[in-house]
Amino acid sequence: MKEFETLDKAIELAQQGYAVYPLIENTKKPPKGVAGYKDATNDQGTIFAWFEKYPIYNLGLRLDLSDLLVVDIDMHDPTKNGRASLTQLFKQGFTLPSDTYIERTANGGLHYFLKYAGAKVRKVDNWPGIDLLSDFAVIAPSEINGKMYQPLDGRTLADIKPAPNWLVDELSTNNLNGAPEHAYTTRLKKYTGRLLDEMVQGANTGDRNVWLTKMVGRLFATGAEPETVYALACSINERFIEQPLKTKEVTTIYNSILKREMKRFERNSIRNSKIAG
């Protein structure tokens, strides 16, 4: 790390309205006299006083004051591989925006930064190796054991994208701090419950093609097998559309969405492979 690099970054973030705080060099711990993220500030005088004397301090960012969320992908434990968990989520259609601000951490993990205005949370191993943080996070150019936190592709905090709806739903569920498997089941049930409610409302003759297209897309998002989605699409058409479409039209809609889903999965797999590399 270059001398005063952290100070320069801290001042830059403060000028943008972000609250930051110091961390002891080579660690994630605040120095004596600083109450961690609770003392985070964008007051440039305070920041200068912190880092002038210790220019190689690491840097922490308070997230909740800026409505930010960090999805922390770790691989500290072979049994809790965050990238493997992320891949499984992607396969189920639960993706993170690949064009948001992302940092590679000192330990080789990833921090996805997202906009999130919900309640403050810190959920460790929400899925194996994946933490959800909206209180604080270490940020570039911090360094641990000679390895730095670094933004991917020259991105900045201005590139942060909103948290996807499925992740907001995950965070709004109150009982997710148990086993990751329970958390995952709880979230899927909530999503599927809303889908079923909308499904039984049905559609009239005027918007039946658009409505069924949306239903098929949302069925794929549950992670169901393609054959299951097609069978349900046919059943939905018969039971919940005022004047059912012909089977040929249902098949055309299904094939169109299936093709789109396959392309998205391929893109996410390639994208995830590049990030993992």
Q: What is the pLDDT of residues 71-127, one digit of tens each?
A: 999 987 777 899 999 999 998 889 999 999 999 999 999 999 999 988 888 998 899
82, 126 contact by CB (below 8 A):
no
Provide the pLDDT confidence category of residue 231 given band limits of 50, 70 and 90: very high
With a pLDDT cut of 70, the percent of the chain lying above it is 86
Report the alpha-carbon distance of residue 61 to residue 158 in Å, rounded.
15
SS3 254: helix
Most confident of 101-110, 119-128, 176-185, 260-269: 101-110
Contacts 24+ apart (CB under 8 A), 189-196: 191/166, 191/221, 191/222, 192/222, 195/219, 195/222
Tokens of 11: 């001042």
Collect all residues with Cβ–Cβ distance below 8 Å to 115 and sequence separation of at least 6. Answer: 67, 68, 69, 160, 161, 162, 163
